A and B are shown apart, each in its own frame.
Chain A
């Protein structure tokens, strides 16, 4: 596509950047502030060999259902066709480039671009052109216009346990191979039953998208920045856990679990206060009803570059990172339950969700801390952030979350995609 080629060439032409350190335990602040790097990320990461999380199958259950989203800057339509298959299409009319769908969701038989009434089927094929033959024998298209070549740009789609992913690249391996069997097993573990959406949040982060991507991989910060747990004594006994990192470093899982406690004991367990002067009046939002067949209380998983899969007690969610320019990011939280939740389970989920989201008692700090890095970074793009905890490698330290190995793994993936 000519437009894409021009954009790529200009970004590459301006791109004069070499990674300034021997490994990924350092990163220059420029990566958060340089518009040329941002432009190249669109092509080499989001339109490169990655799986972009797009939507959930339960959001588009019926033929003709669609929702709009983004893969990096690219506007995307995710649609279910008449045969039940799922298509991911770039939301840009082949004619003048207008958004074909300007509503966030709906149900249609075909897509109509309202600008000049070009129509596409649910797979993105161009099926109709207004005044194709002109009016009264005058105007219209030349006879050699190839209608079949002007469909909506299609992404390759894979559905994994109800999560819909799209990729622009032929090189992207199957999703399971992409994240590896060990990390795929956590998605299998969390999404064990048909899902339902119980709501959405959208949080505007005043920082580069990578600061949030790193934040999720940074298990070191959790107990230091988010002090709600420590303050109110909701640290429970017998907590174990660890960090798992894919062999290539791109993806990770950080989890905590109770050790050797039966369901009944857990249900009756009382949260204990470390500091007696601070007590909560109501601890129902910290109650946990084990439902995934294990004692894991907290599992944060990242799929490079833009997905976070979250289980915090009974708060299940996927978080999608949408970059919106070099210093702005939208974080879209899709909050989930299971289709077979009864009223009391739903009520528990709604309460536990006080912990997360833009007003989350243990998550809100992530909304502002990236902005503080962003503001400090721009004065000195060649200075470097250091990530030394747990050494220089991308291997998880067994049994410890005091490590930045997964963050170093993120930068390894970033460098491999970017070719730097």
Chain B
């Protein structure tokens, strides 16, 4: 796409959204995480194995902000796991297209996971394929698909990537 000033400004806003997303999770402000999506947004986490083979399964599939909030309340009140934090590393952000108010964008990410006992490991590497819209005076995700490169998930995935 040709670079005009408005494209450049949009890309900065998209990058800001991506960074805000990462910081919200990495700062453990998970209750704010659903607010980065529209009310009817879809959030999915899958693997390259499923994605490349056209298999629809996701390991996390939230249809709407309500299900995202449910994931977080389950994490806070019900699910049992060893405490850990993420550090997201984002790169290769591109705005691919603007179609009828929908911005299509993608990024690469890696997630370093640090356990309470101190071990840091590379937990996930992958790509996001996103649809972003103007919603309530800001950008929000209308759809976010995170595709992990590895088919293997170490131990469990409870914090969204």
Contacts and interface: CB of A to CB of B under 8 A. Distances in A.
Interface of A: 197-206, 225, 227-228, 230-232, 278, 280-282, 284-285, 330, 335, 346, 350-351, 353-354, 357-361, 364-365, 367-369, 371
A201 B65 CA distance: 24
Contact of B153 (A206, A227, A358): A358
Contacts of B77: 231, 278
B70 A203 contact: no
A282 B59 contact: no
Q: Interface on chain B toward A: helix, strand, loop, or mixed SS?
A: mixed
A281 B78 contact: no
B55 A367 contact: no
B58 A281 contact: no
Q: Interface on chain A toward B: helix, strand, loop, or mixed SS?
A: mixed
A354 B61 contact: yes
Contact of A280 (B50, B70, B158): B70
Contacts of B66: 280-282
A232 B79 contact: no
Nearest to B157: A359
B56 A367 contact: no
A364 B67 CA distance: 17
By size class, the interface of chain B is 35 or more
Interface of B: 45-47, 49-50, 55-67, 69-71, 73-74, 77-82, 151-158
Contacts of B46: 199
Contacts of B71: 361
A228 B79 contact: yes
15 contacts: A200-B47, A201-B57, A202-B151, A202-B153, A228-B74, A278-B77, A278-B78, A281-B66, A281-B67, A282-B63, A350-B56, A350-B57, A354-B61, A359-B156, A361-B79
Contacts, number: 123
B64 A368 contact: no
Contact of A282 (B64, B157, B158): B64
Contacts of B59: 201, 353, 357-360
A200 B56 CA distance: 10
A365 B78 CA distance: 10
A205 B45 CA distance: 19
A350 B67 CA distance: 13
Nearest to B160: A359
A56 to B, nearest CB: 13
Contacts of B47: 200-202
Contacts of A200: 47, 49-50, 55, 57, 151
A198 B156 CA distance: 20
B55 A364 contact: no
B16 to A, nearest CB: 27
Given A199-B50, A282-B70, A365-B79, A335 B153 contact: no
